[in-house]
Structure 1
């Protein structure tokens, strides 16, 4: 694990749980999977104190445990998930936009309770708020809780959730191999088992926390229920589904990107399309196909005034349907925001999430370059990205501003641009060597992400220093600590 990422994870845990639990979590972040005795030894805490810290981390979904067979006895190993730790940075965003994304009042209160406790039940939430079951607020919150569960913002907690994804995959692989052979499996058998496990989709028989099976495909078209039918188990434990909230946050950034790059009308249509495919898995590479007629019907009525104004300024004969189709075609042409699949039902459109996310990352990177190195820096970066490996002479022939600009060397110092040496002789003399300039955006994203982690860690460190009375340190020392590494 990178040093900046390790510092950030430790500071996040200290901020939420205190320094004692931070020391236990730091051992797991540095050493990996360990039994209780070794965690206690490395953290220099008693076994009972270490066990209590692990209970807190397990309750908040940060630590996984699994029981393994070692000789004649069973041993329990613990491991920590750094992605769960980093997800805590976005908790404020989840609570802020919960009502907007779930489209029901009280969603922010339920989300806050679940994030505060790690896991919880609906009865526990009602008791924590001291709400009587005879009031209207109880009925409203119960309906909100039902909507949150149906739309997968909360997921039920199962016994198998105590195991990490790596342990689950390993156990599933062992079970499949036991069905194939009792001896050492061959390479072909291993490949077949891995292909079979990779093709397995989510099991619908897994408990969802409901007294009856919830049909997720008909969430927006609810059927009439029988009187007294209550699909939500109030004593079932739930936790917040980070992937769902992250997907909604991603969709919000896509809408803002479309609004900044095109206009508000295009962002309205993009938001409608993203809301239609909202019930999919958040990690899908692309969405299912959506017809143009369905998109036109789904555009809210209150948004039509904007289209009416544009139709009045357009030529005669342009209807609202034609205008929306023109925007859909433009979204297909512009940066692959949408992709047209076929011409059925006026056109079928899909969303390529990976391509849109690449455009978002590229825009963020170029914004950073613009802020730090100006327009010349952006020109150099784009030139190297389009032309690939070039020497300094070729770059000067294409862009004369490179001759008098030291910005390329400053960009290289930050790790964004790489230089490859191509010697013309065996002695590798510098005078007889080509120096090819190149840029890899994926490596640049990693550099930005590492700088982001280091900056957040420095901000936490400065705050902890001030809270612990470090403000008495000399002013020059405090200023040095406040300097972030994003420069």
Structure 2
């Protein structure tokens, strides 16, 4: 919608709409598109729904940033999430202004620590550079690129040429996202010795005097890359699956494989990870991994007690697992890959089963698993295989179909489509079931947020009192009843926020993994 239409529907002034749009674009929540209409250029604005849905995972982003990059990483992530996008200079100034310096550390030391963490987050693609084109809609960017390519042709492009141009644009974008070169990061030379070599003009720098260091460009804006966080969360979930199926050592091995292949991962829709060599895997395993003591035959036989042979046995165990997630790369010996989409499908299936179990019970899950294993079945066949009466089966099938997990397909025997001459086949379409559950989970999140709003509105007078300057400076101005009520409110809000985050993690598995 253009600005004047937004102002008309929201009943706000044009100035308020423009100021709000600036904030939304700064927070990456809105994008725009420009188009030529007669003699003037019109600007249309659109909500970036994906970015809005990602904001439900902000608490997990902050927790993961602290886990991966320690306290300074969480502070950097919080500053960027607060402002939408920031340069490294603005981020450091904002952190120093809001938190100051830690005890025993000067401002220079704090600045160097923040800059080091910021650079590490950019190198690991948890922060991504913002380009001017990122504020445009995806369709508008594609049209601009396509027009630039078609203008190079002497004749109007054919359908085959248009398809080729679109494939070229997609491959170029994929190469830009998955390339080794990181936008906003440059390499510079830095001295490593402390000698005052500038006093001796005849001295020349050698390779031992300088080293190549990565440095973030000061004029480039960065934002949180939710896709990279999602990839890491997905990889951690895959590794946890093998801990429950085998042991902690298997989890560490799969975790290391995914960590070695993480740099080449672009998004969560890739079929498999890049291949990892066994020798590289052996050298990169954590030092606390106990491979010898966790294999039965390695404990019994001294011949097989070497860590390298134990790793080969573990790789054989992972490859022979019933889930078939860890496989040899194209049959090559010594190179292994993880089937990411297959692992995501297993996680989605387990989550759907858990939802159905908690909502309806184990007999419903038994029917669903039967349909997943055997495919489309009639009601009588389901009753026969599940050893349940037809009446109970019919009721359970109707319940699951209403919930959105099952799908009913009609196959008529004749052209009349009479019910008596029609096969009614039941099936489970996992993708459709996952999206149905995602819709219900979003409704649950909306209910939790509404409950949080109601809890705060009930105590609006008390919250207004706590916002007063004198109460902030002296908490003793609140009496005992008000203090207890405030503690009760904080406990309720904390429980609601934790539940909302758990629901958001379930959505992450069903929608993004």
Counterpart Cα distance in 1 of 2:182 and 2:301:
56
Residue 172 of structure 1 aligns to a residue whose secondary structure is helix
Counterpart Cα distance in 1 of 2:389 and 2:334:
46
Counterpart Cα distance in 1 of 2:39 and 2:180:
35
Query: Unmatched 5+ residue regions in structure 1?
Result: 1-33, 215-222, 472-481
Q: Which residue of 2 aligns with 1:434?
A: 423
Counterpart Cα distance in 2 of 1:229 and 1:256:
35
Q: Which of 74, 92, 95 pairs up with 1:108?
A: 74
Q: Which residue of 1 aligns with 2:439?
A: 450
Q: Which of 239, 264, 281 pairs up with 1:295?
A: 281
Map 1:390-405 onto structure 2 (within 5 A).
Answer: 390-401=377-388, 403=390, 404-405=392-393
The alignment status of 1:272 with 2:239, answered yes or no, reads no
Q: CA deviation at 1:431?
A: 4.2
Q: CA deviation at 1:153?
A: 1.0
Map 1:174-185 onto structure 2 (within 5 A).
Answer: 174-181=147-154, 184-185=156-157
Of 131-140 and 141-150, the range deviating more from structure 2: 131-140
- Contact map agreement 2:328 2:334 (CA 8 A) in 1: yes
The alignment status of 1:231 with 2:209, answered yes or no, reads no
Q: Which residue of 2 aligns with 1:10?
A: none
Counterpart Cα distance in 1 of 2:355 and 2:300:
38
Counterpart Cα distance in 2 of 1:289 and 1:393:
47
- Contact map agreement 2:66 2:72 (CA 8 A) in 1: yes
- Contact map agreement 2:79 2:95 (CA 8 A) in 1: no
Q: Which residue of 2 aligns with 1:126?
A: 92
TM-aligned CA distance change 1:369 to 1:115, over 3 Å = same
Q: Deviation per CA, 1:218-243: give whole Å up to 9, x if none.
A: xxxxx988479772233432111111
- Contact map agreement 1:101 1:248 (CA 8 A) in 2: no
Q: CA deviation at 1:124?
A: 2.0
TM-aligned CA distance change 1:263 to 1:37, over 3 Å = same
Q: Which of 268, 293, 297 pairs up with 1:308?
A: 293
- Contact map agreement 1:105 1:144 (CA 8 A) in 2: no
Q: Which residue of 2 aligns with 1:195?
A: 167
Residue 287 of structure 1 aligns to a residue whose secondary structure is coil
Q: Which residue of 2 aligns with 1:23?
A: none
Q: Deviation per CA, 1:95-134: give whole Å up to 9, x if none.
A: 10113334x5511110111111101122222222335775
Q: Which residue of 1 aligns with 2:327?
A: 339
Counterpart Cα distance in 1 of 2:414 and 2:38:
60
Answer with 1 or 2: which has the greater Rg.
Answer: 2
Counterpart Cα distance in 1 of 2:52 and 2:142:
22
TM-aligned CA distance change 1:387 to 1:53, over 3 Å = same
- Contact map agreement 2:92 2:115 (CA 8 A) in 1: no
Q: Which of 384, 398, 414 pairs up with 1:409?
A: 398
Q: Which residue of 2 aligns with 1:49?
A: 16
Counterpart Cα distance in 2 of 1:161 and 1:454:
30
Q: CA deviation at 1:164?
A: 2.2
TM-aligned CA distance change 1:75 to 1:397, over 3 Å = same
Counterpart Cα distance in 2 of 1:170 and 1:424:
48
Q: Which residue of 2 aligns with 1:262?
A: 246
The alignment status of 1:240 with 2:206, answered yes or no, reads no
Of 231-240 and 447-456, the range deviating more from structure 2: 231-240
Matched pairs, number? 431
Q: Which of 158, 163, 182 pairs up with 2:131?
A: 158
TM-aligned CA distance change 1:469 to 1:433, over 3 Å = same
Q: CA deviation at 1:206?
A: 8.6
Of 173-182 and 394-403, the range deviating more from structure 2: 394-403
Q: CA deviation at 1:342?
A: 5.4
Give the CA RMSD over aligned residues.
3.1
Q: Deviation per CA, 1:382-403: give whole Å up to 9, x if none.
A: 1111221211222223221354
Residue 438 of structure 2 aligns to a residue whose secondary structure is helix
Q: Which of 144, 147, 156 pairs up with 2:120?
A: 147
Counterpart Cα distance in 2 of 1:228 and 1:134:
26
The alignment status of 1:386 with 2:358, answered yes or no, reads no
Q: CA deviation at 1:374?
A: 2.6
- Contact map agreement 1:373 1:407 (CA 8 A) in 2: no
Q: CA deviation at 1:276?
A: 1.0
Residue 303 of structure 1 aligns to a residue whose secondary structure is coil
Q: CA deviation at 1:295?
A: 1.1
Q: Which of 305, 310, 313 pairs up with 1:326?
A: 313
Q: CA deviation at 1:316?
A: 4.0
- Contact map agreement 1:59 1:119 (CA 8 A) in 2: yes
Q: Which residue of 1 aligns with 2:7?
A: 40
Residue 36 of structure 2 aligns to a residue whose secondary structure is strand
Q: Which of 52, 55, 63 pairs up with 1:96?
A: 63
The alignment status of 1:362 with 2:349, answered yes or no, reads yes
